[in-house]
Chains A and B, each alone.
Chain A
């Protein structure tokens, strides 16, 4: 019997971590507006979600496991 637990044999290791996902947003054209409670385009102040150049939300997993269901920390 292989000593390694089957889950460890099957685990998918990501190339990049969650910080890279966050770095994609910070310092770019978009900023989180504290009082409004949503991301905006720095230049025109419009909601980022209405901007076709805004990088999220693309898909369910957004490239790395962002802790779906808010379970990950």
Chain B
């Protein structure tokens, strides 16, 4: 029987988890990785009264209990989207019941979580993020939300950045689609139909430099994102990947501290923060509590995985 010190909840294709697992192995930490897309390969037995979760993978048994469990690395959604609900009843069962099982692992609430899903659920709300960012001292863009262009009551005939409140994942004619941040003119905005869904309207900050800040505990890793040596207009995620460069930067100390303070306020240990810099002024855009970061290990050799593994090992900040 393998007593588990670190429980990892992920999916098979989350390569950030591979980085963390390999580091835990180097440290000799007993762990088990449970993938949301692999439950058909596991047998589980949860003795609720005793607070013991047994998982069989292959021929190995793992036990998770308050006695042995120190930390949890949680790389899973906090709620289930219904974009791709399968038609087969078995797959529907799988999707919704296992998602609930994963959420129920907050049963082990005394462990050290990166991140606790309850905190993540709250932190994923964009307007709440902006409020907290402003409260801790960040500059944020002027932001409105509306479903009626006529009710926006904006008179400044400049360009605006429009964004979704929820990640803009769609299915259009059976194909996956995504709504990136879009830059629109005043006229286009005023003439648009917003009725079906609220739209986040922000002042368009430009020319700007995009900065991705990955915070792990009290460590901050920052890159500026350029394309062919230049700052990017609009949403950098739309740029072809081979035209993007990630350049490590050292943030001003006050901005570094704001990033850490911001995450503490949200009860998060990990966060991927998007900032923009204009004329040496930093603006907060958003945080992703489960943001991707493996691309930063590969591209600029940030030891994010080591930092996460060390915290999981310590079981505290």
Contacts and interface: CB of A to CB of B under 8 A. Distances in A.
B283 interface: no
Interface residues of B, number: 72
B51 interface: no
A65 B178 contact: yes
B48 interface: no
Contact of B33 (A9, A37, A61, A73): A37
B295 A11 contact: no
Contact of A18 (B38, B76, B176): B176
Interface in A22-46: 22, 25, 32, 34-39
A59 B238 CA distance: 12
Contacts of B76: 70
A35 B58 contact: yes
A47 B22 contact: yes
Contact of A34 (B17, B25, B41, B168): B41
B14 to A, nearest CB: 8
Contact of B164 (A2, A7, A15): A7
A57 B168 CA distance: 22
Contacts of B16: 57
B83 A73 contact: yes
Nearest to B34: A37
A61 B79 CA distance: 21
A70 B169 contact: no
B169 to A, nearest CB: 5
Interface residues of A, number: 47
A12 B295 contact: no
Contact of A66 (B13, B32, B172): B13
Contacts of B149: 1
Given A47-B18, A57-B15, A58-B241, A7 B288 contact: no
A13 B288 CA distance: 23
Interface hub of B18, B178, B194, B294 (most chain A Cβ within 10 A): B18
A1 B192 contact: yes
Interface string A44-73: 000111000000111111011111111111
Nearest to B242: A59
B173 to A, nearest CB: 8
A65 B169 contact: yes
Interface in B15-44: 15-19, 21-22, 25, 31-33, 38, 41
Interface of A: 1-15, 17-18, 21-22, 25, 32, 34-39, 47-49, 56-61, 63-73
Top 8 A-B residue pairs of the complex, sorted by shortest distance between their CB atoms: A37-B33, A57-B294, A6-B192, A59-B241, A38-B18, A57-B15, A69-B290, A69-B288
